[in-house]
Chains A and B, each alone.
Chain A
């Protein structure tokens, strides 16, 4: 514990935004909050005043205790939910009421469960975004094949989802989110439903894909190892209502992010630190839940 506090005071992370500041943010959130209707008729504040700028080619990882509004935050970024308060902007264009439908071509969304349509083969699942965006013309077959090759499933195009393993399904889901060539890929615990071995394997594959495509990626995860392997910037949310508790750049160099990352001294230090912060947030959430009886 002491050791970690000591680390904190020495600012172990690069402060965000320092270093290679390439350009203005692609996507910004300005004091975005989300209220849900609660079962008891009241309102539930799921995300509280989150401000965030997502820069080009950046990989952001969001950590946080369970039910801390991580999914809600990501869904607002991806236009699935509208923010109750606050504004968002995409390449400088400001939106008061969430990202409008006609801008969603810029986003790809990967869900925690693969969310494939069971009545469509793998190729037809990849066709879905192209159909919705009216770009399923010629060339789409090549694009789909390219995406399947990227995720290593080129031989499985004509197969139905139920014939695939969980890991393969999640790869299809990833390919589907990228098939219309979005700028920003939003992933809600994309590896959360997988077993530990598949999960580790796919996290390295995700790293390869992110380097190959150089897309902006925002990933929610409950796994610190994943965050340190993939994230250029790591955010930790507080327990409900989700606020940004901690934000820092990950300074483990790209060369060191490989299978041997666990041997890296910097990795070990950051891992211990993040572990502590996430733990503290979960703990804080739990005690708040116990003492603040009226909150529910």
Chain B
């Protein structure tokens, strides 16, 4: 007599609602980019500023396309390897440390200030020390990246692990779930949005750290290249290389964003 099972039309099976990105979202950054380049070029030619201070974007492009393969590419690959190796270690390490720390409130309380300290320490200041201990090779750079990226990944993940709703924990307790089950089935998936925030910041921190390590020492890497070009007053190449570094950061960031979109299908 009741119509309790009255059917609403069910949504299409197996198709979670996709947040469609409007075309404007792709076009807008391109328009902004073009506008910035145009303004830049206009400013340079109108003000007659010296090319050693600010070269025109076209000059940068010209110099870069001339020298990229020979002078930049090997260093780009070198730096990229440092970033990716460091990041690949930092991600599991940061999550693992957060998982261990989150097991006891007292450990969270004890370690959080230390983690924040590591987040805000610019590892460039530590490079000379590392070199003192470990001599000089590319491992030092990877370690710098690991030390810079792990704490920020860890901090965000830890926040995620410690903000599980009480009622959800009660749900697991009502089933007599073990600690491990509670972690795997509740705490970790619940923390995924914060984990991804950590992973995105980790990309940026890794890139910055690799630059710091290059600048501090060595004869390889994009950071070293930037320094060299500046001292040779090859300003166009210096700017061009800086842009390449920025591009690395943007691409890594966007890759993580893409993965995030595939993983996090629910709306919170």
Check A75–B170 contact: CB distance below 8 A. Answer: yes
Check A204–B176 contact: CB distance below 8 A. Answer: no
Q: Is B5's beta carbon under 8 Å from chain A? A: yes
Check A152–B176 contact: CB distance below 8 A. Answer: no
Check A204–B170 contact: CB distance below 8 A. Answer: no
Which residue from chain A places its CB closest to the CB of B1 in the assembled complex?
Answer: A259
**Interface positions of A from 105 to 129, Cβ below 8 Å from B:** 105, 107, 109, 111, 113, 115, 117-119, 121, 128-129
Within the complex, the shortest CB–CB distance from B267 to chain A, in Å, comes to 5
Q: Tell me which residues across on chain B come within 8 A of A163, comparing CB atoms.
A: 11, 16-17
Within the complex, the shortest CB–CB distance from B217 to chain A, in Å, comes to 45
Q: Tell me which residues across on chain A come within 8 A of B5, comparing CB atoms.
A: 152
Q: In the assembly, what is the distance between CA of A103 and CA of B14, in Å?
A: 35
Number of residues from A at the complex interface, CB < 8 A: 40
Check B267–A115 contact: CB distance below 8 A. Answer: no
Check B265–A115 contact: CB distance below 8 A. Answer: no
Q: Tell me which residues across on chain A come within 8 A of B15, comparing CB atoms.
A: 158
Q: Tell me which residues across on chain B come within 8 A of A133, comparing CB atoms.
A: 175
Q: In the assembly, what is the distance between CA of A131 and CA of B13, in Å?
A: 23
Interface residues as binary, B138-168 with A (CB distance below 8 Å gives 1, 0 otherwise): 0000000000000000000000000000011
Q: Tell me which residues across on chain B come within 8 A of A160, comparing CB atoms.
A: 16-17, 265-267
Within the complex, the shortest CB–CB distance from A226 to chain B, in Å, comes to 15
Q: In the assembly, what is the distance between CA of A152 and CA of B170, in Å?
A: 26
Check A202–B4 contact: CB distance below 8 A. Answer: yes
Q: Tell me which residues across on chain B come within 8 A of A101, comparing CB atoms.
A: 176
Check A115–B171 contact: CB distance below 8 A. Answer: yes
User: Interface majority SS on B: helix, strand, loop or mixed?
Assistant: loop
- Across the interface, A104 reaches (CB within 8 A) one of B168, B176, B192, namely B176
Q: Tell me which residues across on chain A come within 8 A of B181, comparing CB atoms.
A: 131-132
Q: Tell me which residues across on chain B come within 8 A of A102, comparing CB atoms.
A: 176
Check B16–A132 contact: CB distance below 8 A. Answer: no
Within the complex, the shortest CB–CB distance from B19 to chain A, in Å, comes to 12
Within the complex, the shortest CB–CB distance from A85 to chain B, in Å, comes to 20
Q: Tell me which residues across on chain A come within 8 A of B170, comparing CB atoms.
A: 75, 80, 111
- Across the interface, B4 reaches (CB within 8 A) one of A105, A111, A115, A205, namely A205
Q: Tell me which residues across on chain A come within 8 A of B219, comparing CB atoms.
A: none
Interface residues as binary, A153-177 with B (CB distance below 8 Å gives 1, 0 otherwise): 0011111111100000000000000
Which residue from chain B places its CB closest to the CB of A113 in the assembled complex?
Answer: B167
Q: In the assembly, what is the distance between CA of A162 and CA of B16, in Å?
A: 10
Given contacts A79-B176, A80-B173, A117-B190, 11 further A-B contacts (CB under 8 A): A101-B176, A107-B174, A119-B189, A119-B266, A121-B16, A132-B177, A159-B10, A159-B11, A160-B17, A160-B265, A202-B4
The 10 closest A-B pairs by CB, nearest first: A101-B176, A152-B5, A104-B176, A155-B10, A109-B174, A118-B266, A132-B175, A162-B267, A205-B4, A158-B14
